[in-house]
Structure 1
Amino acid sequence: MADKKILIVGASVAGPMAAFWLAKTGADITVVERHEAMRDGGQNVDIRTSGVTVVQKVPEMEARIRAAAAPLEGMSVLSSKGQSILTIKSTGDPKQQSLMSEYEIFRDDLSKILFDFAKDLLNVRYVFGEQAKSMTQDEKGVDVEFLNGHLPQSRYDLVVAADGATSRTRALAFDCKVRDHMSSMNAWAAYSTIKKDLLNTSKTGQLTTSTPGRGIILLPDHDSKQNRVLLMGSHGSDETSIMHLFRQAVKGGDRALKDFLGDFFHGHGRDDILTAVEQSNKLYASEAAQVKAPSLYKGRIVLFGDAGYAAGPVGTGTSLAITGAYVLAGEINSHPDDLSTALQNYSERMRPIIQDMQQIPPGFPGIMTPQTAWGLSVRNAVLRIISYMMLASEYWPVAAPLGWLVGLYASAFGKDKYSIPYYAFE
């Protein structure tokens, strides 16, 4: 791919990871991001199964990820009275992970690590505050017109859509709406960084849950004077009115979103967290959804990460993006003069991995934020069983009568079973 030009749209976790691996093909890489800079803040993400395999191919990258890991020693599930019901911890084994990963890291920290790996390469450049306005392609390339004038209209050999589940690039490529090919999970999450340490220096996070369908996670931050907050809501399949209010609040900006959160969590019992979120200037939200595109590419525009196969709330989205970046770059590098074959191979290799990692365990995502008191009791029992069996290795995977329950989550918890090819880059 030497002397070829590749445009990557999106600079969150997926975009920089794609830039790192695609740069190894020798192509000239341009990454555009509609925000003015890398976004900070955000929730903790984890790396599992094939994502671990790919990260371990770059020892320095794995070392940086481990060094920047979230300062999280466990997650305590609290009762309505604030008492700990159980505490979830990691197993210490990347091949047999629990509800907590051995690679637990905040999204902005992971983005920065990946950004730093690619930004100094001679064949990679980032352009912030820019996005594609239109794309026209033929069998030899894609002509891209940009919205804000930071880049001139240019022709690229390949465009990579890495701009999230509501990908504008996917909509341009497939002539559809941004929500087409998305399947809503009737759940959402909001993320904030608060300027208070409500954990009182503890490195154990806290999960509080109330009905119907409300949950708040409080996490320690690298800055001991502040915490990260994850606010979650889930709804029955017929409760589209609340999902509509959430979407309208996201469109309305921080003030509208804070008002929505205040109303939704009224009576939850963590007014200290909600007051801190109200005062925070770091807040964003997203809907829990899966993307199942009819194809992973169209001509010379390829879908990658959440734009092509968002996993939703099952904890495998980051690993899918990491895996997809390696496979896409590897196939392009293996077929430098036959892009059509490279994209076809990428699609064929990723499809079974996507299908497996997108499997929704029974009850998800509502099991994390149940609608009823009975459902909350069941949730706590399930967490106890899974946590116990993941930490007691002698029970893995089926030695106990309830081993089948852990098996429902094996795609996220188990070792890499996907036989990711070895690609030889120069």
Structure 2
Amino acid sequence: MNATRPTDAVPPTPTGGGRRRVLVSGASIAGPAVAYWLDRFGFEVTVVEKAAALRGGGYPVDVRGIARTVVERMGLLPRLREAHVDSRRMTFFDASGATIGSLRPEQFTGGEAGADLEVRRGDLAEALYAPLRGRVEFLFGDSIATLDDDGETVRVVLDSGARRTFDLVVGADGLHSNTRRLVLGPEEPFHRYLGHVFAGFTLPPEFGLAHEAAIWNEPGRGAVLYALEPGERVHGFLTFTREDPPLDAFRDPEAQRALVAARFPERVWHLPRMVRGMREADDLFFDVVSQIHVDTWSHGRVVLAGDAAHATSFLSGQGTSVALAGAYVLAGELATHANHADAFAAYERRMRPFAERNQALATAGGTVVTPTTRAQLDARNAFVREPRAASGELGSEGAAEQRAAHHDLELPDYAVVRA
């Protein structure tokens, strides 16, 4: 995309004088990204994060399309290139464990070889956090308890009991956003369940894999081993379709393990080892695959960013990229408009079509990892065997649509107030 330059950024001055004070809730990806740009545009920023420290590790995430331009403007491209995990192939296995074939990841994702970045979530979080040290206040081990927006400021009480006043609040606290709940109400009306349940965990490096993913399928079920560097623990995922979300299991880890194990009884491929590893894991992450659809991303002086506003789900592969782009646009519009309501409206006008197009990538048809029906699985396997002969959702047309969605945002070149 060609960059466009709006009017130069206006001085971020509140009614009481001085720099506008912004509280950002969440220090995963969207939160530090919006804090970075707000700081560069001259705002006084505080980030509150319920975790005790920055979260390291985690599975790899993708930075592609327009988000690559964002991290380049942040000066992070060299560091993220060094952290690139370079996944080289995806190998698919049938129900008996027999090999179907292998492809490069971008043949499915619509990515661009040599341009896309794939980095561990923790490496990206650390890269975003590093330039904020000494510039932005971080409050770890705390969270927002109450918000009182009186139209002029937002009075905040934290779980620790601390009381602070800010000009604006940004909720960048994820799919199950506490900030969104406080200002817009319970999650249920905004939560769109996509019919998949998954369990993620790590396993010892005993499968002979490196820089690759191995995927086993039956209709509606998938098992994935995802290996990075040789000798590192392997990421395991067990995912399956289910008509209704398993609400009763969310507060009971043993119920989660039992539910997942029951869906993978076969004694084939690596399934027995994966189920045993899932049962023993101390890092089990269990959730449903879902999106967030909110009619408006702001209310008064509070605005949502990242998954709190528009979670795309991991089936789209675009959650991180959309969050990075949205953080840049939100901060830039706040720097460009003296009135926060005008800035929030401009942010949403620019970002909503991009977010919704990328959300649609997860709901357009059968998925690579968990084809829902036999027909979808057969189509996926046919593409793996004969990729040059395929077209449509899994072929050249599908890849082109994905690439177009990754880039479908006019990215302004906002003026930077503070070096």
TM range (shorter): 0.7 to 0.9
5+ residue gaps, structure 1: 390-399
Q: Report the 3-state secondary structure (helix = DSSP H, G, I; strand = E; otherwise coil) of the residue aligned with 2:79.
A: helix
In the alignment, what sits opposite 1:83?
98
- The AA in structure 2 aligned to 1:193 is T
Q: Go from structure 1 to structure 2 and tell me whether the alpha carbon gap of 1:51 and 1:344 turns closer, same or farther (over 3 Å shift).
A: same
Distance in 1 of aligned mates of 2:400 and 2:385: 16
CA contact (8 A) 2:354 2:408 kept: no
Which residue in 2 is equivalent to 1:250?
250
In structure 1, the partner of 2:191 is: 182
Deviation at residue 206 of structure 1 after TM alignment: 0.4
- Aligned position for 2:46: 30
| 1:422 and 2:416 matched | no
Q: How does 1:355-374 map to 2 (within 5 A)?
A: 355-360=356-361, 364=365, 368-374=369-375
What's the offset of the Cα at 1:110?
A: 1.6
Q: Given residue 112 of structure 1, which amino acid in structure 2 is its aligned partner?
A: E
What displacement does 1:376 show?
A: 2.1
What is aligned with 1:48? 64
Q: Which amino acid aligns with 2:126?
A: K
Identity of aligned residues (%): 28
Q: Deviations over 1:234-274 (max 9, x none)?
A: 23xxx22xx22xx3323223x33323222222226311122
Letter in 2 for 1:288: V
Q: In the TM superposition, what whole-angstrom CA distance separates every residue of 1:311-365 from its partner, at most 9, and x where no partner exists?
A: 1221111111000011011111222x32222111111111221222122466645
Match of 2:15 in 1: none
Distance 1:304 1:271 in 2: 40
Q: Please report the RMSD computed on the Cα atoms of aligned residues, expressed in angstroms.
A: 2.7
| Aligned-partner SS, 2:84 | coil
Counterpart residue number, 1:126: 138
* Alignment-derived partner of residue 412 in structure 1: 402
SS at match of 2:189: coil
The question of whether the paired residues in 2 share the 8 Å contact of 1:157 and 1:300 is answered with yes
- Report if the CA contact (8 A) 2:365-2:393 is conserved: no
Superposed displacement of residue 367, structure 1: 5.9
Does the aligned pair in 2 maintain the 1:41–1:282 contact within 8 Å? no
Query: Aligned partners of 2:356 and 2:373: how far apart in 1?
Result: 31
Structure 1 window deviating more from structure 2 (153-162 vs 39-48): it is 39-48
Question: Which residue of structure 2 aligns with residue 290 of structure 1?
Answer: 291
SS in 2 for 1:261: helix
Q: What SS does the aligned partner of 2:146 have?
A: strand
Corresponding residue number in structure 2 for 1:158: 168
What is the CA–CA distance in structure 1 between the aligned matches of 2:83 and 2:413, rounded to whole Å?
Answer: 27
Of the three residues 149, 159, 162, the one matched with 1:137 is 149
Q: Give, in angstroms, the shift of residue 372 of structure 1.
A: 4.6
Which residue pairs with 1:233 in the alignment? 240
| Structure 2 residue aligned with 1:262 | 261
Question: CA distance change for structure 1 residues 147 and 47 in 2, over 3 Å: closer, same or farther?
Answer: same
Provide the TM-score with structure 1 as the length reference: 0.84
Deviation of 1:25 (Å): 1.9
Match of 2:21 in 1: 5
Gaps of at least 5 residues in structure 2 are 1-11, 13-17
Residue number in structure 2 paired with 1:392:
none
Per the alignment, residue 343 of structure 1 pairs with 344
Q: Deviations over 1:119-140 (max 9, x none)?
A: x142x12212211111110221
User: CA contact under 8 A between 1:234 and 1:365: conserved in structure 2?
Assistant: no
Structure 1 residue 422 displacement after superposition: 0.9
What residue is the counterpart of 1:329 in the other structure?
A: 331
8 A contact 1:72–1:219 mirrored in 2: no
Distance in 2 separating the partners of 1:322 and 1:99: 20
Give the SS at the match of 1:358. Answer: helix
**Equivalent pairs, count:** 396
User: For the residues of structure 1 that align with 2:363 and 2:347, how far apart are their CA atoms?
Assistant: 30
SS at match of 1:251: coil
The residue type paired with residue 334 of structure 2 is I
* CA spacing shift, 1:339–1:54, aligned 2, 3 Å: same
Residues 248 and 128 of structure 1: CA distance in aligned 2, closer, same or farther (over 3 Å): farther
Alignment match, 1:20: 36
